[in-house]
Structure 1
Amino acid sequence: MSNVSVSPAAVKVPSPTRILIASGLGNLFDSMDVLLFSYILVSLGRNWHLNPGVMGMLGSLALVGMAIGSAFAGSLADRFGRRTMFMLTLLLYSIASGLSGFATTVGILMLLRFLTGLGLGGELPVSTTYVLESSQDVTRGRRVVFLQMFWAFGSLVAALIAFFVIPSVGWRAAFWICAIPALYTIFLRIGLPETPRYRNLPKRLTLRQSFAKTWSKGMSRRSAVTWTLWFTMNYAYYGLFTWLPTMMTHKGYSLVHSFGYVLIMTLAQVPGYLTAAWLVEKWGRKKTLVIAIFLSALASLGFGFATSTGTLILFGLLISYFMLGAWAATYLFSVEQFPTAARATGMGWSAGFGRIGGVLAPTLTGWLLGAKVGFPIIFGIFFAVLLVGALIVGWFGLETKGKQLE
């Protein structure tokens, strides 16, 4: 691997803080939408009298859009630039999310959730690639983790909106709240330049060439590991967090109490990211990732067997802490596996394939809940899936700590 030299005069570089905030706010609104919809789903299911199967489909459709958006936005970012796709993906999300607040039928809402997913899915791998390539080698690891930490802030905002807005104002207002601030983030990003590494590429690959490169000799093992990693992480994360508020109501808690308890659980996400930011530089990306996934699996199993309010909150906190730490390491581990010419493609297609797990999990979990399957079995499935992901990365994954980017 070798460094790409960039003349300071060639690119006017904004402050690292501005790059991180402008990129991170997009992740914040992505997170806010994804997590807020899990709360909206509870209210929507009661108001529109939806069965768990339909609710599961609504939860999955945004993930279908995210799968397609991740893959193609990543490839397009390698062809036309990170900055261009950086802007377009967030614009699509903002419009579709705002219009969702005006939906009058399940069919219309499904379409808008799909379009929202296209923007959400595309924004995440592109913003991660942008921040990585705009950072120095000595700081890139923690800067990527700090970028992902905005996801935790979005989760907290979503929990606060759900607790204070949805019960009193209604679910439509929640969608409108998502759309308005996202438009401001587009304004912040207008002045950001293309990344130095991308600007200095001697050749821009076509969509077909960039995809083929990620599965070429020397790259296929990395792609196989990251695709598997993203599938297991998405299955567990979206299966757990999409249904967590609903699962609390199934355990006998009221809507307000369910939202309040999930809000408490969400508080552990920021410490999870901060811990990961320190460990990825001390232990390395791979070791941090494997341990965080394994502990997430144990916490999930514990939640499935929990019966009291105290143990539910305890294991919910542990799920949030370890799972979000694992996610931070997942993004960093994945984006560093690929060369600059195909980095966004490799990241995007890994994330896109992973969304299949995110689509399956809410639907399957909804079906299992509807079939009255016990919580130990449902959370036992999450445990098994996460365990597979930890073993694959631990056995076949390649460490990138201390290595220069290609």
Structure 2
Amino acid sequence: MSETTSPLTRAERLDRLPVNREHHRLVVGSGIGWALDAMDVGLISFVMTALVAQWGLSNGEVSWIGSIGFVGMALGATLGGLLADRFGRRQVFALTLLVFGLATGAAALSWSVGALLVFRFLIGLGLGAELPVASTLVSEFAPARVRGRVVVLLEAFWAVGWTLAALIGYFVVPAGDDGWRWALALGAVPALYAVVVRRGLPESVRFLELRGRTDEAEATVRRFERAADVAPVPSPAPAPPTAPPGARALWTGGAGRRTAALWIVWFSINFAYYGAFIWLPTLLFNDGFSLVKSFQYTLIITLAQLPGYAVAAYLIEKWGRRPTLATFLLGSALGAGLFAAADADTAVLVTGMVLSFFNLGAWGALYAVTPEIYPTALRATGAGAAAGFGRLASIAAPLCVPLLVDAGGTGLVFATFAAFFLVAALAALALPELRGRSLDADPARGVTPSTLRG
């Protein structure tokens, strides 16, 4: 074992560690929950298309089915962040999986549009809370030198889940009149996985210290040190336990400018992404593609997300957070603009893949940036509030798509999305660059992190 006796805080002891099996367990354990979340969100786009064919729904009814879940997600993201800063990241993560898993299973029994809307709202409550809480938990364990890359890899599980949704949509939904019900029944799996999360994942060391639970914090750090074959060292006593500062602190001092820029990015990327991908199978179907072919194209376009995440994971530690996020947002704008002009099957497929590649890479970078710009006591609250504000755009986007289609067709829809991506790219340039810095450094005050030792 390596020998060192210099006093280090527990956060510094985590930062000095190489990535080891405990990090892998944390990322995979959180990532499975993330993938199940994505699968559930993705399934509704295929269910919407099937219900248009089976129930003869109007565009307005379909829009509300697409949007109502995001109403729940907006509320869930905000409340989930507040609860995670008060009761712990792991506890809230497990609760969110249970809520949206049970609600998805219940949605399979929907007997009317009204019933489906109620269940989709409940699903959204759990889905919205899960993502910012999971990314906060992972970011607080990842070593500073690779933290961005680790969080992008966590976000890459979204592509896995959306691909599962596309496969279920392609093979299960068209299989019969009850295909969409069986698809939603599969979405109940997260309720079972919540038990695994509650028992297997560690609680954030930084959160435990804030609550005065130093014995638990020390045991968790030593667990990660043993996995890395690194000897423990003395840690100074942490500050006395403090109460969470509350959401108002997001706008005080230097945090206000960061919060404003972050919220603009979240709002713009949510509008463009969910407007595009929730409606994509239906838009293709309405443009003359068969139900099966629209699902097939959506599946292929979805697969382009995976290399997008891989490139973003590499560049976020090579270039930094801000240039990677801005570049992928600009690439998303280009992809949406090209899709707007596509007029042949091959062009639709290729430009859709370009949009998918850059858009999901941008999402990975955004989830890496978001937890970094707030202190520990405010981290989950800040991440949840940004996600919650962004969900307002994901509510509006599916409702706006039919209006845009009526005004100018699919071309106007995706040209609008391109404009939102451009706005997000400009706002991203106002975010702080935190590559390699400790989570305990405050960029607003210009505090530099302690030198990482190990």
Q: TM-score, normalised by structure 2?
A: 0.85
- 1:180 and 2:218 correspond: no
Which 4+ residue blocks in structure 1 deviate beyond 3 angstroms? 6-9
User: 2:112 maps to what in 1?
Assistant: 105
User: 1:5 maps to what in 2?
Assistant: 10
| Amino acid paired to 1:401 | R
Pairs within 5 Å for 1:254-265: 254-265=290-301
Aligned equivalents of 1:372, 1:223: Cα separation in 2: 34
Q: Identify unmatched segments of 5+ residues in structure 2.
A: 1-7, 15-19, 211-239, 441-454
Deviation at 1:204, TM superposition (A): 4.0
Partner SS state of residue 374, structure 1:
helix
Distance 1:189 1:48, change over 3 A: same
- 1:379 and 2:410 correspond: no
User: 2:284 maps to what in 1?
Assistant: 248
Aligned equivalents of 1:284, 1:256: Cα separation in 2: 41
Deviation at 1:189, TM superposition (A): 3.9
Deviation at 1:191, TM superposition (A): 2.4
CA contact (8 A) 2:95 2:194 kept: no
Distance 1:233 1:167, change over 3 A: same
Deviation at 1:7, TM superposition (A): 9.9
User: 1:139 maps to what in 2?
Assistant: 146
Pairs within 5 Å for 1:292-331: 292-331=328-367
Pairs within 5 Å for 1:362-401: 362-369=398-405, 371=406, 373-394=408-429, 396-401=430-435
User: 2:128 maps to what in 1?
Assistant: 121
Q: Identify unmatched segments of 5+ residues in structure 1.
A: none
| Amino acid paired to 1:81 | G
CA shift digits 1:112-169 (9 cap, x unpaired): 1000000000000000000011222122111101100000001110110000000104
Deviation at 1:6, TM superposition (A): 5.5
Deviation at 1:185, TM superposition (A): 4.8
Superposed CA RMSD in Å reads 1.7
Find the partner of 1:81 among 82, 88, 107. Answer: 88
Pairs within 5 Å for 1:44-55: 44-55=51-62
Partner SS state of residue 167, structure 1:
helix
Find the partner of 1:193 among 171, 195, 202. Answer: 202
User: 1:359 maps to what in 2?
Assistant: 395
CA contact (8 A) 1:6 1:200 kept: no
CA contact (8 A) 1:25 1:185 kept: no
Pairs within 5 Å for 1:58-77: 58-77=65-84
Pairs within 5 Å for 1:339-358: 339-358=375-394
- 1:205 and 2:210 correspond: no
| Amino acid paired to 2:184 | F
Compare CA radii of gyration and give the structure with the larger one: 2
Deviation at 1:181, TM superposition (A): 5.1
| Amino acid paired to 2:181 | R
CA contact (8 A) 2:271 2:394 kept: yes
Aligned equivalents of 2:342, 2:401: Cα separation in 1: 18
User: 2:262 maps to what in 1?
Assistant: 226
CA contact (8 A) 1:14 1:192 kept: no
Find the partner of 1:171 among 173, 180, 190. Answer: 180
User: 1:236 maps to what in 2?
Assistant: 272
Deviation at 1:8, TM superposition (A): 7.9
Q: Which moved more, 1:374-383 or 1:196-205?
A: 196-205
CA contact (8 A) 1:27 1:124 kept: yes
User: 1:40 maps to what in 2?
Assistant: 47
- 1:271 and 2:278 correspond: no
CA shift digits 1:262-315 (9 cap, x unpaired): 111111111000100000000000000001001101110111110111100000
CA contact (8 A) 1:305 1:375 kept: no
Distance 1:213 1:108, change over 3 A: same
User: 1:335 maps to what in 2?
Assistant: 371
| Amino acid paired to 1:351 | A
Aligned equivalents of 2:298, 2:424: Cα separation in 1: 25
Deviation at 1:4, TM superposition (A): 4.5
Aligned equivalents of 1:273, 1:185: Cα separation in 2: 26
Aligned equivalents of 2:248, 2:407: Cα separation in 1: 45
Aligned equivalents of 1:188, 1:26: Cα separation in 2: 8
Aligned equivalents of 1:227, 1:74: Cα separation in 2: 15
CA shift digits 1:82-124 (9 cap, x unpaired): 1110111111011101000001011111011000000000000
Aligned equivalents of 1:153, 1:188: Cα separation in 2: 19
